[in-house]
């Protein structure tokens, strides 16, 4: 019997699916999970996602670089904002990073609180690597959209639909949300401009002149890495296969 | 400034939008809200939606007809199941009806608990009458999908999308869910067979040989009535305009 793939459209609905028997893919396309993939692919040793600004700042004393912004502005005293463009090899290779994000971190915590079997991070920039890895694991999968303050957001649902579609021959859909998300992705894929114009979060970012970042977050397979949570941090799975095995078993 | 239209994809997400300043449209296409429109249009005096089977049964002592089923079977001792076909003029005109439904009733209660400004019932069979009425009220609108045990369901989201689309020139969208629902409706409208085949609840009903009821629930404007909650019961708004005014003001 095939395993289930479930699309959870916001963390507020996580209790509809038992994630203790599933790999949870956390999705926060604009921009947390995109940025995380970029930083790990460019050699960051670990990324600790933190909800609170002061907690994030305290990591600096322990030799971490810190990244964060609120309302589009880099936070005072922080090394980086949340732009994926900040994290190139020169700035991040072999460094430890703490990053403060609201929605992405809350989604990770929601999955941890329900004892998810494993937590990985998804974005267009790692979609094919992630698809292949998920198929290989043969576990139930929950695509957890971080959304925005428990609201459903267009870009996270579109990505969940893109991934659900790639998984559909190897998994069964749990409830109707995977079909809703796939349909949305199919429409968005042929009418990008329409969706950009109408999405609330796209609009917020474009207002901040972050068009290039939005475009980059939509590009596929630019960073084929699988970030996985081990303890409080995200690691590149290819450097910690043993740890991962002991974590999920 | 135009008022908001919001699509709430399940009652579990109702707190994302302040319904105390909005008209809530409860949507449970298969089959509660369809059946309610049919019964009121065929002359039922009042319909009391009840979650619990025993509570529903107790209405019989007060001169009510009672309707309800579980897992597709009419309940023992009940006058009707939940089929819209049962409620013709001969059976229901000038009668009081108590009906036990799980998801539809929970959605109504969720809206009542948050002091919704008004609660009405929507289905394809009253979509045009409802659209015109909502536009005339000029209040915020929350399209509340009853879903299935707090899960998002395809058919309720499709209907919310159909209604949101009709309202889009007169209202602003609140968050992205209205756009998600409209997109789903647009796709479903051109590929009905695909959606039927893939939806979980359609499948349950078709398994029970209820194809004709499903088809009927998708037909538009067969019962142009506006059922509105006043106290614990749904009334045809055209017979209680004064009561309605005192309820919403």
The answer to whether residue B100 neighbours chain A at the CB level (below 8 Å) is no
pLDDT digits (tens, 9 = 90+) for B64-78: 999 998 877 789 999
Q: What is the pLDDT of residue A244?
A: 53
pLDDT at A243 over 90: no
Strands, sheet with A46-50, edge to edge from the N-terminal-most edge strand: A73-74, A65-70, A96-100, A46-50, A233-236, A227-230, A118-122, A22-27, A140-145, A3-8, A171-173
The three-point CA angle A116-A117-A122 to 5° equals: 75
Contact A201 B10 (CB under 8 A): no
Contact B195 A179 (CB under 8 A): yes
pLDDT at B23 over 80: yes
The answer to whether residue A105 neighbours chain B at the CB level (below 8 Å) is no
pLDDT at B246 over 60: no
pLDDT at B169 over 90: yes
Q: Which fold has domain B3-248?
A: putative 2-phosphosulfolactate phosphatase (3.90.1560)
pLDDT band at A248 (very low <50, low <70, confident <90, very high): very low
The answer to whether residue A199 neighbours chain B at the CB level (below 8 Å) is yes
pLDDT digits (tens, 9 = 90+) for A1-55: 999 999 999 999 999 999 999 999 999 998 899 999 999 999 999 999 999 999 9
pLDDT digits (tens, 9 = 90+) for B76-134: 999 999 889 999 999 999 999 999 988 999 999 999 999 999 999 999 999 999 999 99
pLDDT at A193 over 50: yes
What ipTM was assigned to the predicted interfaces of this complex? Answer: 0.88
Q: What is the pLDDT of residue B191?
A: 79
pLDDT at B180 over 50: yes
Residues in chain B closer than 8 A to A148 (CB atoms): 175
Whether residue A230 contacts residue A244, with contact meaning beta carbons closer than 8 Å, is answered with yes
Closest by alpha carbon to A28, among A243, A180, A205, A208?
A205
pLDDT digits (tens, 9 = 90+) for A73-102: 789 999 999 889 999 999 999 999 999 988
Of A154, A177, A186, the CB nearest to B179: A154
pLDDT at B156 over 70: yes
pLDDT digits (tens, 9 = 90+) for A123-162: 999 999 999 999 999 999 999 999 998 899 999 999 999 9
Closest by alpha carbon to A121, among A236, A17, A7?
A236
Contact A201 B176 (CB under 8 A): yes
Q: What is the pLDDT of residue A239?
A: 82
The answer to whether residue A173 neighbours chain B at the CB level (below 8 Å) is yes
For residues A233 and A188, what is the distance between their CA atoms, to the nearest angstrom? 33
In the numeric block, which tokens belong to residue B194?
């695909």
């Amino acid at each position: 019997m095939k395993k289930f793939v479930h699309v959870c459209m916001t963390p507020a609905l996580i209790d509809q699916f038992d994630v203790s028997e599933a790999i949870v893919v956390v999705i926060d396309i604009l921009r947390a999970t995109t940025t995380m993939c970029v930083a790990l692919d460019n050699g960051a040793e670990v990324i600790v996602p933190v909800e609170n600004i002061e907690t994030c700042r305290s990591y600096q004393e322990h030799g971490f670089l810190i990244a964060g912004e609120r309302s589009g502005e880099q936070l005072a005293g922080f090394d980086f904002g949340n732009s994926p463009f900040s994290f190139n090899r020169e700035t991040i290779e072999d460094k430890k990073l703490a990053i403060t994000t609201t929605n992405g971190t809350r989604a990770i915590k929601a999955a941890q609180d329900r004892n998810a079997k494993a937590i990985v991070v998804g974005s267009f920039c790692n979609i094919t690597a992630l698809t292949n890895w998920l198929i290989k694991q043969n576990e139930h999968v929950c695509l957890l959209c971080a959304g925005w303050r428990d609201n459903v957001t267009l870009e996270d649902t579109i990505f969940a639909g893109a991934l659900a579609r790639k998984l559909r021959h190897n998994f069964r859909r749990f409830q109707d949300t995977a079909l809703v998300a796939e349909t949305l992705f199919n429409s968005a894929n042929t009418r990008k401009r329409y969706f950009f114009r109408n999405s609330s979060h796209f609009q917020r970012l474009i207002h901040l002149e972050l068009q290039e970042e939005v475009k980059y977050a939509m590009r596929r397979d630019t960073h084929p890495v699988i970030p996985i949570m081990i303890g409080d941090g995200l690691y590149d799975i290819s450097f910690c296969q043993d740890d991962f095995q002991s974590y999920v078993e």
